Amino acid sequence: MGGYGVYVWPSYAVTFVLLALEVLMIIKRKRAISNRADPGASELETSELETGLSH
Amino acid sequence: MSKSRINWYKYAAPVNFYPLAGKMLPWFSGLAIVLFAVGLYLSFFVAPVDFQQGHSYRIIFIHVPAAWMGMFLYVLLAIYAGIGWAFNARLGSMMATAIAPTGAIFTFISLVTGSLWGKPAWGVYWVWDARMTSTLILMFLYIGFISLQSSIDDTRRADRAGAVLALVGVINVPIIYFSVQWWNTLHQGATIRIANKPTMAPTMLAAMLVLTAACWIYSIAITLARVRCIILERESEAPWLAESAVSA
Quick check: A7 pLDDT over 80? yes
- Average pLDDT of A29-51? 67
The pLDDT score that the predictor gives to residue B246 is: 42
Nearest C-alpha neighbor of A14 from the set B111, B135, B91:
B111
pTM of the model: 0.87
User: Does B227 lie at the interface with A, CB-CB under 8 angstroms?
Assistant: no
Q: How far apart, in whole angstroms, are the C-alpha atoms of residue B161 and residue B155? A: 10
User: Does B30 lie at the interface with A, CB-CB under 8 angstroms?
Assistant: no
The pLDDT score that the predictor gives to residue B248 is: 32
> Would you tell me the crossing angle of helices B60-86 and B90-122 to the nearest 10 degrees?
160
Nearest to B222 among A1, A22, A55 (CB): A22
Q: How far apart, in whole angstroms, are the C-alpha atoms of residue B74 and residue B104? A: 9
The pLDDT score that the predictor gives to residue B237 is: 74
Boundaries of every domain in chain B: 59-242
* Residue B139 CA, distance from chain mean position: 12
Nearest to B229 among A8, A29, A45 (CB): A29
The pLDDT score that the predictor gives to residue B192 is: 55
User: Does A42 lie at the interface with B, CB-CB under 8 angstroms?
Assistant: no
The pLDDT score that the predictor gives to residue B124 is: 84
Q: What's the mean pLDDT when you consider all of chain B? A: 87
Q: Do B173 and B138 form a contact (C-beta atoms < 8 A)? A: yes
- Average pLDDT of B104-129? 91
B189 phi, psi to nearest 5 deg: -75, 180
- Average pLDDT of B29-58? 90
The pLDDT score that the predictor gives to residue B170 is: 94
pLDDT tier for residue B110 given thresholds of 50, 70 and 90? very high
- Average pLDDT of B163-189? 82
What is the CB-side half-sphere exposure of residue B140 using CA atoms within 13 A?
Answer: 8
Tens digit of each residue's pLDDT (9 = 90 or more) over B211-236? 999 999 999 999 999 999 999 999 87
What was the ipTM of the complex prediction? 0.85
User: Does B201 lie at the interface with A, CB-CB under 8 angstroms?
Assistant: no
Nearest C-alpha neighbor of B226 from the set B31, B36, B91, B52:
B91
B20: which chain A residues are within 8 Å (Cβ-Cβ)? 52
The pLDDT score that the predictor gives to residue B191 is: 56
pLDDT tier for residue B187 given thresholds of 50, 70 and 90? low
